[in-house]
Amino acid sequence: MAISMDIVCSTDCCYVMQTGIMLTSLFENNREADIRVHVLHNGIDSNSIMLIERIAYDYGQKIKFYLVDESLFSAFPIGREGQNTHVGTSYATYYRLFLSELLPDDINRVLYLDGDIIVTDSLNELWAIDMHDKAIAAVPDSYNNKIEHYNRLHYPQPMGYFNAGVLLINLDYWRANNVADAFCQYASARPDSLYCHDQDILNYVFRESKITLPLRYNMLNEYWFDIRHSVVSWKFDNQMLYGQQHPAIIHYTGLPKPWFSNCRHPMKREFERYRAMSPWRDVKERKWRTLKYCLEQMAVHTVVALGMRPQEYIDENKYIRI
């Protein structure tokens, strides 16, 4: 009997290609599973939806789109000075916080996958992990030992800090414990502390209710380093070496990303392999941080410095994206 999985991803107009390539890799390496994909989005165009639907159709898998009302996230900080800039001005990173509210009640477990990911192996064993009444299962972040995380978020370092790009989520726990309210309360109480957006919130709220996954299920950029030069604790050395040889999920967390020509990630070819199977096989690469990008970022930082939300200016055309 085939295993049934519920996979969740979130995207906006800037990450449609990446999400589609991630799904291609997921379907390609999990052909024996019955997969239902739940795509959270903020109003991507009909052509983008058609392309992603076509990928699912070609593999005989199911897919559903959920248009998210971004007013739900008005309490969550975005684009503030000091926050991680890779998110830009999109609220899409926060969508996963409301999975218990957005998804049907008969779904009790989901696997959340970021868009800058490639799945390279079967996820059957990951999906079958016993959650033991815990809220979440995740891989330790590569900067798990960084004291700054714990000082900023106000909880003890021994509790650990995970990466939120791959999350096995116990939705029964989320609903029973009304975690959506806990997320909102923490965001409202400590908006200036959320450098890593929803990842920080998840780490604080679930600091005592999480399961640690093997590194191979979220091989971050730093996990491809020579262990002699690693920022990761020595206790993960064996997992790092095993993950390098047998990765199940590759997460391109650094810059430039593999869809840029000047990316030097050791597994860039894996991304290229699945892109060649996707509707974006003919998309031309460009370099990261072109002059256009730098000028755009200067405009965004200027607006933020004035105490205004960049997204409001984009929406109202009060400044021009060049």
Statement to judge: residues 244 and 156 lie in one domain: yes
Statement to judge: residues 215 and 75 lie in one domain: yes
Statement to judge: residues 247 and 313 lie in one domain: no
211 closest CA partner among 124, 130, 271: 130
pTM: 0.86
How many angstroms from the chain centroid is the CA of residue 59?
23
Could you tell me whether strands 166-170 and 109-113 are parallel, antiparallel, or unpaired per DSSP bridges? antiparallel
Statement to judge: residues 258 and 305 lie in one domain: no
Statement to judge: residues 34 and 168 lie in one domain: yes
Residues 6+ apart with CB under 8 A from 151: none
CATH number of the domain residue 185 falls in: 3.90.550.10
248 closest CA partner among 104, 124, 81, 90: 124
If one counts the domains in the chain, the total is 2
How much of the chain is helix, strand and coil, in % rounded to 5? 45, 15, 40
| pLDDT at site 242 | 96
Statement to judge: residues 312 and 237 lie in one domain: no
| pLDDT at site 2 | 84
Statement to judge: residues 272 and 309 lie in one domain: no
Statement to judge: residues 223 and 305 lie in one domain: no
77 closest CA partner among 91, 60, 98: 91
Domain extent, residue 306, equals 289-322
Statement to judge: residues 160 and 293 lie in one domain: no
Tokens 């996963």 belong to which residue?
A: 96
Statement to judge: residues 58 and 95 lie in one domain: yes
Tens-binned pLDDT, residue by residue, of the chain (322 aa): 789 999 999 999 999 999 999 999 999 999 999 999 999 999 999 999 999 999 999 999 999 999 998 888 777 866 444 445 444 457 788 899 999 999 999 999 999 999 999 999 999 999 999 998 999 999 999 988 889 889 988 889 999 999 999 999 999 999 999 999 999 898 888 887 787 889 999 999 999 999 999 999 999 999 998 787 788 888 899 999 999 999 999 999 988 999 999 999 999 999 999 999 999 999 999 998 755 555 565 565 554 555 554 444 444 433 333 2
Statement to judge: residues 64 and 88 lie in one domain: yes
Statement to judge: residues 313 and 203 lie in one domain: no
| pLDDT at site 317 | 39
| Residue 189, CB-side half-sphere exposure with 13 Å CA sphere | 13
How many angstroms from the chain centroid is the CA of residue 43?
18
CA distance 116 to 258: 9
| pLDDT at site 307 | 53
Q: How far is CA 146 from CA 161, 181, 195, 227, in A?
A: 9, 28, 14, 17
CA distance 221 to 232: 11
| pLDDT at site 221 | 94
